[in-house]
Amino acid sequence: MPLSRTILLVDDDVELRDVVGAMPAEPGYTVFPASDGYEALRVLVDRSVDLLITDIKMPGLSGFELARQARLMRPNLHVMYLSGQVSRLDQAGPTYGLLVRKPVRGGELLGIIETEMGVPAAEAR
């Protein structure tokens, strides 16, 4: 039986959010989309989330600040950053999580998500 995991996907680019958000749906993931950090924090208040995937550079609340606040709310939350502009997480100071460079292919992202969540590929499908 496939595992059920929840992902909060935050990106100000609606097209990317739609494409990336649809990728992990098949293997038992539920994706909650958010267009910015403030909307993401509202989702975290109302929903149980296993993994936060966030763009780094967004208007208002950056992905780094979102992750800091999200981890205060949920200390065990897994965090992944999506960025086409930042090459290393340590360039932005202390952070939590894994950096994934944009653009990312669906199968590649799914594999990264499964590794981050500690889900063996056989169980995820």
| pLDDT (tens digit per residue) in 3-31 | 678 999 999 888 777 766 666 566 678 88
Cα 100 from Cα 54, distance rounded (Å) = 10
Over residues 53-63, the mean pLDDT reads 90
User: Could you tell me the residue range of the domain that residue 71 belongs to?
Assistant: 5-124
What backbone torsions phi and psi does residue 93 show, to the nearest 5 degrees?
Answer: 95, -165
- pLDDT for 113: 82
Q: What is the pTM of this model?
A: 0.82
List, for residues 89-109, the tens digit of each pLDDT value.
555 545 667 888 877 776 777
| Residues linked to residue 101 through DSSP beta bridges, in sequence order | 83
CATH of the domain at 44: 3.40.50.2300
Domain count, the chain: 1
Contacts of 105 (CB under 8 A, 6+ apart): none
pLDDT greater than 70 at residue 2: no
Q: Please report, as a single letter, which amino acid is at residue 3.
A: L
Rounded to whole angstroms, how far apart are CA atoms 11 and 18?
10
Q: How far apart are CA 39 and CA 34, in angstroms?
A: 6
